[in-house]
Structure 1
Amino acid sequence: MSPPRAALEQALDRGEREGGSVEFKERLSKDTHLSEGRRESLAAQLRHRVLSGDGEATYVLGVTDDGGIAGVAPDVFSETMDVLSLLAEEAECHIDEVQTWGVPVEETSPELDGSMDAAEVPDPRRGHVSSGDVDADRGLVGLATVREGAILETDDEHIVVGTAGHVDHGKSTLVGTLLTGQADDGEGGTRSYLDVQPHEVERGLSADLSYGVYGFDDDGPVRMDNPDRKTDRARIVEEADRLVSFVDTVGHEPWLRTTIRGLVGQKLDYGLLTVAADDGPTRTTREHLGVLLATDLPTMVAITKTDLVSEERLEEAEREIERLLRDADRTPLLVRRHGVEAAIEEIDETVVPIVGTSAVTMEGITVLDELFEHLPKTGGGAAADPFRMYVDRTYSVTGVGAVASGTITSGTVESGDELLLGPMPDGSFREVEVRSIEMHYHRVDRARAGRIVGIALKGVEEREIDRGMALLPRDAEPTPTREFEAEVMVLNHPTRIDAGYEPVVHLETLSEAAAIYPEDGPLLPGDTGRARLRFKFQPYLVQEGQRFVFREGSSKGVGTVLDAAPEE
């Protein structure tokens, strides 16, 4: 018996009784249950249930007063959750977790049989995740956990770190050790916390972006006991005074496009490049470093697997990395020579600290902890600017609907905000409303620039949302861009870039083929010049000052948007 079904059976067995913490509701509607007088009564009832459960109540939704399984249509369940959320807010409580099951609508027995399917809960480390459509002859039953206390405000310090590095250089293993404080077994065991697809676990190779979080309070690091439990990640968000979110990219060369998306589209504060001590810098190392430095991201280098090499080999690896950085016009700073305080003070777009680490012996972990605890936030726009978020991933959650996730570029978003989503393929923008917000599985009432969040949206279906779309305030007047002017610099190309050259442009979270038309003739490697770029398939939201990377095969370049609406 799966834990979710066991939880539902337990709630039904406990039953709805006076002085208990379980409440049965078949459905809640805005017109009926939020009317004058009724709302206050239901909020008081909810508060009573929470206090009776020592700060936690269980609401079983889609069941009759006697515990009979009724099941309600998805849109009815969605409205029920909206009403319950408002009642919880009025009672100074919040909904902490929701689980749903699909049931035949004609089922009325409280007994659960094999026909009940647990709906899949979205994992922000995955790509498109669908809980499955509920057929017309199936309804929903849900279990909502309501806890005392208002929804968390996220005004604590929060930095976002993007990792990069060659495959097998211990990138994900190092992050797993930082998240848990656990030493690795020498076989990459801690990296399993970041691999979520079966083939990733089996092959030991990441194939998509992964996310992790740990934090700090007055007593030091706040780590996860088990990152596989979403409640453990939520606990970090709730308890820590300062948060460090990791966007763990892909080291395998065929997935460089995914790595670029992670480093360009997530509004990172810092880059963390891993180089294995026994292998040294590789072609992929140089490729990833080029992307990090081309976007002016303050970066540090972690030399991993120091437990596998002698002191002589470690010093040789340090020299190799120092040469690599100097060749890129950067200043290396060996932390073991100059100290952590110097690294914190000096790190910027030109100075790159280098730290020796081992996930097996835990060497360098406390050094990275100290860096992440004290480094200032650098990325993301100001919270006072208008809200903007580019969509990176989408989900469909039974009973909730469409969820768009990404990193907030600027401004602040709150539950209930009315937004625009787009542009759609035809250039239009869709009016949507924020149903709820989650950050690392913890439900929050508001979130501001630099946060990685999932936003549940009313007014749109998940299949209509694409990566690269943007969320904006309802009163914004966005202009979709098919063609824009930019200053581009060619980093590498076998010959020259002529008019009509068509690489893939990586801007924010979008990756789209675009034709380049240099204004002053062909561009050679190392050249910088103005050019017009035209997206091949559809318009996107582009604004002046945005940085982007373009790539095709071994060719690579960077650019800055100068004019998002050039005259014809």
Structure 2
Amino acid sequence: MSADRAALEEALQRGEEEGGYIEFKERLSKEVHLSGGRMESLAAQLRHRVLSGEGEATYVVGVTDDGGIAGISPDAFSESMDVLSLLAEEAGAHIEDVDTWGVGDETRRASNGSGGGTTRGDDPDAGLVGVATIREGAMLETDEEHIVVGTAGHVDHGKSTLVGSLVTGQADDGDGGTRGFLDVQPHEVERGLSADLSYAVYGFDDDGPVHMRNPHRKSDRARVVETADRLVSFVDTVGHEPWLRTTIRGLVGQKLDYGLLVVAADDGPTKTTREHLGILLATELPTLVAITKVDAVSDERVAEVEHEVEKLLRDVGKTPLAVERYGVDAAAEEISDSVVPILRTSAVSTEGLDDLDYLFETLPKTSDGQGQFRMYIDRSYSVTGVGAVASGTVNSGTVEAGDELLLGPMPDGSFRDVEVRSIEMHYHRVDEAKAGRIVGIALKGVKEAEIERGMVLVPKASDPRAVRSFEADVIVLNHPTRIGTGYEPVIHLETISEAAVFHPDEGRLLPGDTGHSRVEFKFRPYLIEEGQRFVFREGQSKGVGTVTDVHYD
């Protein structure tokens, strides 16, 4: 027996007992187990198991009544989890976690969660057996003031380290140790560079910050989500120049409330700093600037860098507000798309972290998220026993388990009928997802391979239409010559990153110009609408734009 199979083997050895917390089920189906009074009976049984386990029950699915491993198909297992979720809800409980194994496979195959899943070992088509942990209490309902913060800044300026110290409450070791709480790929940890978006969360209750004790454990993130009265999620972007596209995706493609730009005191503002600031301000996002590593330089150097940042902000028409001079209360009151607070911080000495805590605890949510549900997809993955999962930030409205949605557009412009199996936020299952939540939505009716970044989930009744081309007002921020008809940059709009062809009015746009252009996606259509803002980029050329009209396929 491998360590990974310990939970399964323990449950099988203990077996079902009249007054125990373990229940064996070969499979559960909607047709059989949710009709003719069976639902009430099975929910009562589940409630008994939860009470017997002092608030927690274990359901082993894919086994016979005597504990023999039978194995069921992935589709049957997914349906069984759907039924079990409904039974748990009826009994005032929820599914906390699910582990699955292939029949005869000595390796744990996957564990569901909004951060992804892995699959190893035998082919799951041979049959699955799984262990579901059922916990007393309804699925989590999250706070209304959950804010989302996007980070930006040059590589090695301490962005991920600062966020790591914030969410854990731990001082850094001076070697970027707390950065490891956010980096998601082994090569990133080895090199100390982030190559993709990372996510982190902490919160606040009546006693102050609620930190993650062990951020590498998904259960610890779930604990923070469950216990905090107010949540702060971070979308940590990439500081290295080759991954500027990923940074733009993080700042444009998420439903952010605030931006956090870091500038290292030992280095000062760089070309990348200016680019990231331009992206933040182009999206009209209220932004904070944290001068990091103040412990590593003299007070005179910190003041010098602060003055450089103030000049940089004034050059782009923004008003800097130095917390050192005006106080953190003034920063909380004045921050806007035109006023940018500047704080002095150190992840090593923890200077300035209390001020950041205060701001993140008190700053209001900036987006109301009203309207019908919409979520642009940033990532997708497959979880054994659950199926396809689409991950992203909810742009507007609310979605609940069981909702019927449309996914698309597909490359041909069509939309696919899908159903929401379940929703998770930072590895915690939730009843519903509202605007601003970073979630993973398990979908029925589609394979993971068919889901692409830039697609959108919308209500079935919304009648969405794919868009191949649109009209836009654009500003050219940087370009070596003129932009003419046929110019082909990459458009970053929501989570869409797609090559497009520009057809500017009068045939050209010059650097610094504000003008109008028809823009046509080069390869496939997307769902966009009037008023959405975007960034375009090609080599050293960059600009921003606003959609003014759309042309439907």
Question: What is the rounded CA distance, in whole Å, between the counterparts of 2:470 and 2:118 in structure 1?
Answer: 35
1: CA distance, partners of 2:13 / 2:384: 24
Report 1:361-372 matches (<5 A): 361-372=349-360
Q: Secondary structure at the match of 2:410?
A: coil
Question: 1:71 deviation in Å?
Answer: 1.0
Q: Deviations over 1:63-112 (max 9, x none)?
A: 111111111110110111111011101111100101111114xxxxxxxx
Q: Distance in 1 between matches of 2:220 and 2:145?
A: 19
Distance 1:306 1:12 in 2: 56
Corresponding residue SS for 2:209: strand
SS of the residue 1:394 aligns to: strand
Alpha-carbon displacement from aligned partner over 1:395-442 (angstroms, at most 9, x marks no partner): 100011000010111100000000000000000000000000001001
Specify the alignment match of 1:111 in structure 2: none
Question: Does the alignment pair 1:84 with 2:84?
Answer: yes
- Please give the alpha-carbon distance, in whole angstroms, between the structure 1 residues aligned to 2:40 and 2:110: 33
1:450 aligns with 2:440: no
Higher mean C-alpha displacement, 197-206 vs 117-126: 117-126
**Match for residue 559 of structure 1?**
545
Q: Say which of 159, 163, 166 aligns to 2:154.
A: 166
Distance across 2 between alignment mates of 1:73 and 1:482:
40
- CA displacement, residues 236-286 of structure 1 (integer Å, 9 cap, x when unaligned): 111111100000000010000000000000010000001110110111111
CA distance in 2, matches of 1:8, 1:284: 50
Matched residue, 2:66? 66
Judged with a 3 Å threshold, the aligned counterparts in structure 2 of structure 1 residues 525 and 118 are, in CA distance, closer, same or farther, namely: same
C-alpha deviations, 1:200-242, integer Å up to 9, x for none? 0100000000000000111111111001010110111111111
The alpha-carbon deviation at position 130 of structure 1 amounts to 5.0
Q: Residue by residue, what CA displacement relative to the aligned partner does 1:463-514 show, whole Å, maximum 9, x if unpaired? A: 0000000000011111100000010110110000001100000000010000
CA contact (8 A) 1:435 1:457 kept: yes
In 2, Cα distance between equivalents of 1:176 and 1:308: 18
Question: What SS does the corresponding residue of 2:467 show, helix, strand or coil?
Answer: coil
Mapped contact 1:520–1:530 kept (Cα < 8 A): no
- From 343, 348, 369, give the equivalent of 1:360: 348
Counterpart CA distance in 2 for 1:424 and 1:507 is 17
The question of whether the paired residues in 2 share the 8 Å contact of 1:156 and 1:243 is answered with: no
Distance 2:139 2:127 in 1: 29
SS at match of 1:147: strand
One-letter amino acid matched to 1:172: S
**Please, what is the CA RMSD of the aligned residues?**
1.4
Partner of 2:99: helix, strand, or coil? strand
In the superposition, relative to structure 1, how do residues 137 and 250 fare at CA in structure 2: closer, same or farther (>3 Å)? closer
In structure 2, the residue matched to 1:110 is: none
In the alignment, is residue 485 of structure 1 matched against residue 475 of structure 2? no
1:218 paired to 2:211: no
Q: Tell me what 2:31 maps to.
A: 31
SS in structure 1 of the partner of residue 461 of structure 2: coil
CA distance in 1, matches of 2:385, 2:267: 49
1:8-27: per-residue Cα shift (whole Å, max 9, x none)?
Answer: 22212221101110111111
Aligned-partner Cα distance in 1 for 2:294–2:506: 50
Count of residues paired in the alignment: 553
Partners of 1:3 and 1:133 in 2: how far apart?
A: 15
Match of 1:303, as an amino acid? Answer: I
- Of all paired residues, the percent bearing the same amino acid is 74
**In the alignment, which of 309, 314, 327 is matched to residue 297 of structure 2?**
309
Query: 1:38 Cα shift?
Result: 1.2
Q: 2:126 aligns with which of 102, 118, 138?
A: 138
**Counterpart position of 1:537:** 523
For residues 29 and 259 of structure 1, what CA distance do their matches in structure 2 show? 44
* Match in the other structure for 2:418: 432
Higher deviation after alignment, 58-67 or 262-271: 58-67
Letter paired with 1:340: V
- Cα deviation for residue 151 of structure 1 reads 1.0
Aligned to 2:54: 54
Q: Which whole-Å CA distance do the structure 2 matches of 1:561 and 1:27 have between them?
A: 50
SS of alignment partner, residue 500 of structure 1: coil
Q: 1:376 aligns with which of 359, 364, 380?
A: 364
1:304–1:358: 8 Å Cα contact kept in structure 2? yes
The correspondence of residues 298-447 of structure 1 with structure 2, limited to 5 A, is 298-379=286-367, 381-382=369-370, 385-447=371-433
Q: Please report how far the alpha carbon of residue 4 of structure 1 lies from its aligned counterpart in structure 2 after TM superposition.
A: 3.6
Deviation of residue 122 (structure 1)? 5.5
Q: 1:122 & 1:49 partners in 2: Cα distance?
A: 23
C-alpha distance in structure 2 between counterparts of 1:336 and 1:5, whole Å: 55
Which of 113, 117, 128 in structure 1 is aligned with 2:107? 117
CA distance in 1, matches of 2:515, 2:82: 52
Render the CA deviation track for 1:277-328: whole Å, top value 9, x for unaligned.
0110111111111111111111000011111011111111111111111111
SS in 2 for 1:157: coil
1:548 to 534, 538, 553: 534
- Per-residue displacement from partner, 1:115-161 (whole Å, max 9, x unpaired)? 322113356456xx552696376211111000111111124320000
Q: Which residue of 2 aligns with 1:109?
A: none
Change in CA separation of 1:381 and 1:564 when aligned onto 2, cut-off 3 Å: farther
Residue segments in structure 1 that go unaligned for 5+ positions in a row:
105-114
Higher mean Cα deviation, 478-487 or 513-522?
Answer: 513-522
Partner residue, 2:99: 99
Q: Deviations over 1:505-544 (max 9, x none)?
A: 0000010000010123310011111110000000000101
Please state whether the residue corresponding to 2:17 is helix, strand or coil: coil
| Alpha-carbon distance in 2 for matches of 1:3, 1:136 | 20
CA distance in 1, matches of 2:184, 2:466: 35
Deviates more, 1:136-145 or 1:490-499: 136-145
- Would the aligned equivalents of 1:153 and 1:444 in 2 still touch at CA under 8 Å? yes
Partner of residue 9, structure 1: 9
Distance 1:243 1:255, change over 3 A: same
Does the CA-based 8 Å contact 2:535-2:545 persist in structure 1? yes
Is the CA contact (8 Å cut-off) linking 2:467 and 2:552 kept in structure 1? no
Q: Distance in 2 between matches of 1:488 and 1:381?
A: 25
* Paired position in structure 2 for 1:284: 272
**What is the CA-CA distance between 1:565 and the residue it aligns to?**
2.3
- Alignment partner, residue 112 of structure 1: none
Q: Which residue of 1 aligns with 2:166?
A: 178
Deviation at 1:196, TM superposition (A): 1.8
Q: 2:458 aligns with which of 455, 467, 472?
A: 472
Q: Would you say 1:207 and 2:160 are equivalent positions?
A: no
Verify the 8 A CA contact 1:415 1:434 in the aligned structure 2: yes
CA contact (8 A) 1:506 1:512 kept: yes
Unaligned runs of 5+ in 2: none
Query: Residue 103 of structure 1 contacts residue 117 of structure 1 at CA under 8 Å; is this kept in 2?
Result: no
Amino acid in the other structure paired with 1:523: L
CA contact (8 A) 2:465 2:552 kept: no
Rounded Cα–Cα distance in structure 2 between residues aligned with 1:380 and 1:504: 29
Corresponding residue for 1:42? 42
**Bigger CA drift: 1-10 or 447-456?**
1-10
Residue 356 of structure 2 aligns to which amino acid in structure 1?
L
Q: SS at the partner of 1:342?
A: helix
* Residue 150 (structure 1) aligned with residue 138 (structure 2): yes
Does the CA-based 8 Å contact 1:519-1:531 persist in structure 2?
yes
**d(CA) in 2 for partners of 1:49, 1:481:** 52
The 2-side partners of 1:360 and 1:3 are apart by 37
Match of 2:481 among 495, 501, 509: 495
Distance, in Å, in 2 between the alignment partners of 1:423 and 1:183 is: 46
List, as ranges, runs of 4+ consecutive aligned residues in structure 1 with deviation greater than 2 Å.
Answer: 1-4, 120-126, 129-137
Task: Give the aligned partner of residue 107 of structure 1.
Answer: none
